[in-house]
Structure 1
Amino acid sequence: MFLLDNLLNMSRSAKRMVFLTADILLIPISLYTAFALRYGTATPFPMVMESWELFVLMTVFGGAIIYFFNLPKIKLNAFETRAMLQVGLAAVSLSVTAMAVSYLLQLSGSRSVPLIFGMLFFVASVLMRVLGLYVITYLSDRAGGRQHVLIYGGGSAGIQLASALRQSKEARPVAFIDDNSNLHGLMVAGLPVCAPSDMEKLINKHRVGRILVAMPSVEKERQKDIISKLTGLGVEVHVLPSYVDMMAGNAIIEDLRPVTPDELLGRDKVDLDTPEIAKTYAGRVVMVTGAGGSIGSELCRQLVSCNPARIVLFEQGEFQLYSIDQELRPKANHAGIEVSAYLGSVTNAPRVSNVVADEGVEIIVHAAAYKHVPLVESNELEGARNNVLGTQIVAEAAAQAQIERFILVSTDKAVRPTNVMGATKRMAELVVQDIQIRHSATKFSMVRFGNVLGSSGSVLPLFQKQIEMGGPVTVTHPEVTRYFMTIPEAARLVLLAGAYVEGGDVFVLDMGKPRKIIDIARQLITLSGRYVFDPQTGQGDIEIKITGLRPGEKLYEELLIDSDSLCLTPHPKILRAEEAKLSQIEVAAMIREIRASIDEGDEIRLRQLIATRVEGYHHYQQEIAQ
């Protein structure tokens, strides 16, 4: 609206001039009204004429008093107790000044007039600002410029949030929701406190588009229960972070976050903080390959808390290396940890060996890999070069340098794979197991992940982007299931595997039951405040579209080739598997075949090799048939 835009876009000095002028005009109006009330007539002209000097002097002195108490600087959307105190002090000063002027000039007016004048000015000045705030709020609502929100939690965090939102142009709080029945029906910070049972009615009445959960100190379990109750209301749900997180930000309103994807795990996060991690990496030189990737970068962040002597970043992508280097150095310098950054490919043997030797590397975490199933499926030779030969080169460099530990980041797709990516990761595991047999000075281990929430290429960022674009959300098959873990869980699992390694181990995390991808799609749509489109009724706004399994995609994933090989570790949620290995001759023949396939550009030869050497491998078309 034109009027609203003009009001909101006025310069600060112009707004102050408007309020100064309005407050000064209130002085003669309040003084005249005081005479009228004191003498009981609406036309006290004779008494006013006898005290005309009072009107002139009070208008002049009053302007100075108003300016001294900074009344023009009071912001409308921040008009609360402190602002009312400023107006009150100004009103008292005006009243005292009026008494002094009347006494000095020996005016004939009643001595009670200045007292009435001060009270009238206070009421008028406060009422003027309240009405101004109401008009702007009304115009904003009519213009549809501010989204109506409910605040779940009427405590101190909710009150601060409401105050911050009043100063924003994006949102307007309409009510508090609180479980405490003693607060129901009360007004807190100018907003009514309602019961959770009233939410649906409030959403419909005020056209609420978002619920903000302002309970940062509540237990995680309780917060999850609240979020699960809110997801069926058809509005967006945002969660206020903890006080520690808020202290790190600049403003409460900026620190609000959407419900994060890891809240879709369907299980509690696994606590992987153990003293073994710090002991293993403290004072060591740790090299991370693929340091700029989703897992590699998180590994680097978590290594800082382990107090290593140096973190060596090794990454093929220039921008990815630059990004993690810029992020990591300030934190590492603060902790007294050196950081070295190296550009290079894991398939470049001289480069890898030189970095390991020059830096005196003691532990290698090998996270570099091509991991996107459809891309590797159509670029299988490069996938094998990077994932298998690259792993061999880094592992051989570790063995030749006799470093302390080597940890390979693997995947659950390596178990009975239906795609080249999973098969190459299984081959990489076989290579590492073979090198362990021949080089006992270094302890080698492997870690198998499920799908990592929020990592590049995972379904959740894709779903969120599709929802933002209005759909459809694409799911390849209604029965596809996956294990899920968070990026911090994945990185911590790698570090723990390095602590628990005995030699040639395969570590897996107990991730609970696998979840259907289509269920996660439905839940994300609901959490974003949308409805799943029902083709039978025609209701809903985000369609879930079944596209069919992609090349190399499995209906379900497994973590172990042989569940009977499981062994316990010191951590109840981490398991160790001792799986079958290939002989040294078989591994050497496998490597020769891979090199020959790459040199000749023979993709069929590579796939035949995979079918021969990778236990349980079957083509994805067999998966579709099953």
Structure 2
Amino acid sequence: MLRFAESVRTWLVRLPRQQKRLIQLSADVLLVWLALWLAFFIRLGDPWFVDPFGGHAWLFVTAPLTAIPFFVRLGMYRAVMRYFGSDALITIAKAVTLSALVLALAVYWRSNEPKLIPRSMVFNYWWLSLMMIGGLRLAMRHYFMGGWFAPEGFFKYRSVDKGLPKVAIYGAGSAGNQLVAALRMGRAMRPVAFIDDEPNITNRMISGLRVYTSSQIQQMINETGAEEVLLAIPSASRGRRREILEDLERYPLHVRSVPGFMDLASGRVKVEDIQEVDIADLLGRDAVTPQEALFLKCIKDKIVMVTGAGGSIGSELCRQILTAQPRTLLLFEHSEYNLYSIQMELEARIEREALRTRLVPILGSIRTSERLLDVLRTWHVETVYHAAAYKHVPMVEHNVAEGVLNNVLGTLNTAQAAVQAGVANFVLISTDKAVRPTNVMGSTKRLAELVLQALSQEAAPVLFGSADGLHHVNKTRFTMVRFGNVLGSSGSVIPRFYQQIRNGGPVTVTHPNITRYFMTIPEAAQLVIQAGSMGQGGDVFVLDMGQPVKIADLAEKLIRLSGLSVCSEKNPTGDIAIEYTGLRPGEKLYEELLIGDNVSPTEHPMIMRASEEHFSWDVLKGLLGRLLEAVEKDDYPQVRLLLREAVSGYVPEGEIVDWVYQQRRIQPLDLGS
């Protein structure tokens, strides 16, 4: 029987639209007649009083003739039954009410009818039509969405739903109700309860589900068998979401969430796009609203270029820059795929929001100074955000030459080209790993900072290896912005943890005491843009990263919020173990944001200005010459010595692990071959 009913449902869904409308119209005519007959029966109690084929025939002809045109005109047959909502109920109420009023006028005009028609009959007809026509549509919506099924009884779930994962929805507001409707339609999960602390709705029924309070979660699990919790609180602050997640950690529930309010509002995602818990919610830091004057100063109606535009930080900078409406946005990127991806995303947004910004995707490398200068001069670029860099600590440690050439020479090339092209604003994206580094990546990023600091002090610097070899008056305002790890960037630890949990573990952490600063990519990009507007020349700005987070604690939280337990000495039967693998080459236990203590506040509460020692351009130029010569000779011990000489606090740990250097020690290069 169930299989037959399921096939009927599938057949109805696949019918052509005109046939579906004809079925609805026929059903409505029958319901109007039934409502009319019941209206007499309820009023008089005599089923034989009504004579639809005799004296009352005109009434049974008039009723559908007055009702159906209103139903058609108000769009009742345009609504898709599966997505029938409260707005459709209002439409039905309007249509039925108008048709009842017209019928009442017809009865009044025929007041000399030989058979008496009670005046209250019209009222009975109105509410019966409302119940039957609206009720049929509600029942069919629930039938098509898989909620109840007639052969099992109207208030029972279909048997095909019984094997689905049971989920509770945290948040019984509009997002929660939309999520329930989407889940019932998709039939991938079975919603069994709401969780909400709103006193007006607790312990009540919404969409057929009981609303439990946060203190009744264990009771909810026992009564419903819920295995997951889906957070449907897109407008809640991060602080509130953190409180909720800490509360849910105690229960064996896999916690996931619907997207944030801004993602929903922008149309990038839908309510039913369920995702793992945003790690930013665990940090509980609410982003500070950008200061509009700072945010727009270097961008609005200007020509802006972002290097490394397809990377994690570069792509988010492009998204944020687009909101400030530059005249032209140049995407400078050496990876063809990354450039294509960000171009497609931004072009779709420009079309969707009818923006006037011109988008120019440019393939190129910051290692090629001629290409940089040509681009900057051709488009008369006014602001450059330099995000192109190699950032993965172990990778750069194993590829020293590429780290130096890309992070140091690439920054030097970009800065020189900016001076020659007369760029007004130049902002370098730096890192907390540049402070007293123990690795090549951090030391090259600090050296990149020193390059800009030296250039900013020179009114007319002689450019090192410039494309034209000429003197240029320096009109460029150089600014550096230093911050810690960003959540969700390429190679970030969080996606790796989630993948390891999905694979059954273990979750690998390098050291039990390792800590890191974290910030969301959008927040970091917004602060970078604002800090870049405050610099006077050679400024190093440091972002307020909050409190450092212990990576091992983060791993434990992610395991528990996945509905699993941590396997440890105290709990040997746990689901997922945490395995400590040891610090990787060049990795530090703790990161710092400041080299010294000389820091001052700025007009933005999340941005500080650091005052740090630096070299003159003449001194730095000679040092850079020796460094690049050592790189060319693959003399990595000399490279390390020169980096130590240039970068204050650089203390490399362990031996040189560059792949080329190690291989040549094992098998020396035969120059005679």
In the alignment, what sits opposite 2:370? 350
Counterparts in 2 of 1:171 and 1:443: CA distance versus 1, 3 Å: same
Counterpart of 1:606 (choices 610, 630, 639) is 639
Partner of 2:456: 436
Decide which moves more: 408-417 or 277-286: 277-286
Within the candidate set 536, 557, 560, 2:591 is matched to 557
Distance 2:480 2:593 in 1: 12
CA contact (8 A) 2:29 2:64 kept: yes
Q: Is 1:511 aligned with 2:557?
A: no
The more displaced of 497-506 and 120-129 is: 120-129
- Mapping of 1:18-167 within 5 angstroms? 75=81, 78=84, 81=89, 136-137=146-147, 142-144=159-161, 146-167=164-185
**1:253: Cα distance to partner?**
3.7
Q: How does 1:369-408 map to 2 (within 5 A)?
A: 369-408=389-428
Corresponding position of 1:571: 604
Q: Deviations over 1:226-256 (max 9, x none)?
A: 34433433232314643x6545439954355
CA shift for structure 1 position 322? 2.2
- Give the 3 Å change call, closer, same or farther, for CA 391–471 of structure 1 in structure 2: same
Q: Is the 8 A contact 2:239 2:285 kept in 1?
A: no
Q: Deviations over 1:393-424 (max 9, x none)?
A: 11122223343222221111111111111111
The residue matched to 2:576 in structure 1 has which SS?
Answer: coil
Identity over aligned residues, as a percent?
42
* 1:278 match: 296
Any conservation in 2 of the 1:227–1:237 contact (CA below 8 Å)?
Answer: no
> Which amino acid letter does the alignment assign opposite residue 606 of structure 1?
V
Give the structure-1-normalised TM-score.
0.80
How far 1:20 moved relative to its partner?
A: 9.7
Report how far residue 426 of structure 1 moved: 1.5
Give the Å deviation of 1:481.
0.4
Match 1:502 to one of 504, 523, 536: 536
Alignment match, 1:317? 335
Q: Give the corresponding residue for 1:249.
A: 267
Q: Secondary structure of 1:314's partner? A: strand
Answer whether contact 2:559 2:566 (CA < 8 A) is retained.
yes
Deviation at 1:192, TM superposition (A): 2.9
Conserved? CA contact 1:165–1:253, under 8 Å: no
Compute the displacement of 1:479 (Å).
0.6
Q: Tell me the CA shift for residue 24 of structure 1.
A: 11
Q: Give runs of aligned pairs for residues 527-538 of structure 1, distance below 5 A.
A: 527-534=561-568, 536-538=570-572
Corresponding letter in the other structure for 2:255? E
Q: Helix, strand or coil for the counterpart of 2:186?
A: coil
Which amino acid letter does the alignment assign opposite residue 495 of structure 2? P
Alpha carbons of 1:133 and 1:340: their partners in 2 closer, same or farther (altered >3 Å)? closer
Cα distance in 2 for residues equivalent to 1:588 and 1:217: 52
Instruction: Name the residue aligned to 1:237.
Output: 256
The Cα offsets for residues 104-126 of structure 1, whole Å up to 9 and x where unpaired, read as xx99xxxxx9x999999999999
Q: For structure 2, list consecutive stretches of 5 or more residues without a partner in the other structure.
A: 108-113, 116-120, 150-156, 461-473, 656-673
Answer yes or no: is the 8 Å Cα contact 1:476–1:548 preserved in 2. yes
CA distance 1:258–1:300, change in 2 (3 Å): same
- 2:350 counterpart letter in structure 1: K
Mapped to 2, the partners of 1:17 and 1:470 lie a distance apart of: 54
d(CA) in 2 for partners of 1:402, 1:24: 77
SS at match of 2:585: coil
Residues 175 and 347 (structure 1 numbering): CA distance in 2 closer, same or farther, change over 3 Å?
A: same
Contact 1:399 1:439 in 2 (8 A): no
Q: Deviations over 1:508-539 (max 9, x none)?
A: 11212211111112222333333333454344
For the 8 Å contact 1:569–1:575, the answer to whether it is kept is yes
Secondary structure of the 1:321 match is: helix
**Aligned to 1:150, what secondary structure does the other structure show?**
strand
Q: Is contact 1:452–1:486 with CA below 8 Å preserved after alignment?
A: yes
Q: Give how far 1:382 is off.
A: 0.9
> 1:202 aligned to 2:244?
no
User: Secondary structure of 2:227's partner?
Assistant: strand
* CA drift at 1:141: 5.7
Aligned residue type for 1:576: R
Q: Give CA deviations for 1:245-278 in whole Å, capped at 9, x if unaligned.
A: 5454399543555432222334333444341332
Whether contact under 8 Å (1:211, 1:236) holds in the other structure is yes
Question: Are residues 448 and 3 of structure 1, via their aligned partners in 2, closer, same or farther at CA, if it must alter by over 3 Å?
Answer: farther
Deviation at 1:53, TM superposition (A): 11
Q: Does residue 547 of structure 1 match 2:567?
A: no
**Segment drifting more, 373-382 vs 307-316:** 307-316
Which residue pairs with 1:179 in the alignment? 197
- 8 Å CA contact 1:30–1:117 kept in 2: the answer is yes
After TM superposition, give the deviation of residue 316 of structure 1 in Å.
Answer: 1.0
Which residue of structure 2 aligns with residue 293 of structure 1?
311
Report the CA distance between 1:51 and its aligned residue. 11
Listed as ranges, the matches of 1:413-452 within 5 Å are 413-439=433-459, 441=474, 442-452=476-486
CA distance in structure 2 between the aligned counterparts of 1:75 and 1:325, rounded to whole angstroms: 39
Q: 1:207 to 1:389 in 2, by over 3 A?
A: same
SS in 1 for 2:428: strand
Q: Distance in 2 between matches of 1:297 and 1:86?
A: 50
Q: Aligned partner of 2:359: which letter?
A: V
Render the CA deviation track for 1:201-249: whole Å, top value 9, x for unaligned: 222322223334444455554444334433433232314643x654543
8 Å contact kept, 1:231–1:237: no
| SS of aligned partner of 2:340 | helix
Deviation at 1:468?
3.2
- The letter of the residue matching 1:552 is G
Shift in CA distance, 16/373, structure 1 to aligned 2, threshold 3 Å: same
Classify the secondary structure of the residue corresponding to 2:597.
Answer: helix
Find the aligned partners of 1:519 and 1:267 in 2 and give their Cα distance. 17
Tell me if structure 1 keeps the 8 A contact 2:241–2:284: no
TM-superposed CA distance for 1:451, in Å, is 0.3
- Residues 298 and 425, structure 2, Cα contact 8 Å, conserved in 1: no
CA contact (8 A) 1:420 1:552 kept: yes
Greater mean alpha carbon deviation, residues 274-283 or residues 392-401? 274-283
Q: 2:504 aligns with which of 470, 484, 509?
A: 470
Aligned residues, how many? 616
CA distance in 1, matches of 2:428, 2:313: 12
Shift of the alpha carbon at 1:370? 0.8
Matched, 1:188 2:206: yes
Q: What residue number does 1:308 align with?
A: 326
Q: Single out whichever of 173-182 and 283-292 deviates more from structure 2.
A: 173-182
Partner AA of 2:637 in structure 1: I
Q: Which moved more, 1:497-506 or 1:448-457?
A: 497-506
Match of 1:331 among 336, 350, 355: 350
Quick one: distance in 1 between partners of 2:327 and 2:423? 15
Q: Which amino acid aligns with 2:302?
A: R
Q: CA RMSD in A?
A: 4.7
1:93-145 Cα shifts (integer Å, max 9, x gaps) = 9x99xx9xxxxxx99xxxxx9x9999999999999988888885468664455
User: Structure 1 residues 185 and 480 mapped into 2: Cα distance closer, same or farther (>3 Å)?
Assistant: closer
C-alpha deviation, 1:571, in angstroms: 2.0
- Determine the C-alpha separation between the residues in 2 that align with 1:174 and 1:215: 17
Range 538-547 or range 449-458, more displaced: 538-547
Partner of 2:111: none
1:593 to 619, 626, 633: 626
Q: 1:501 to 1:240 in 2, by over 3 A?
A: closer
TM-score scaled by structure 2?
0.75
User: 1:595 and 1:7, CA in 2 relative to 1: closer, same or farther beyond 3 A?
Assistant: farther
What is the distance in 1 between the residues matched to 2:389 and 2:190? 47
1:617: how far off? 1.9
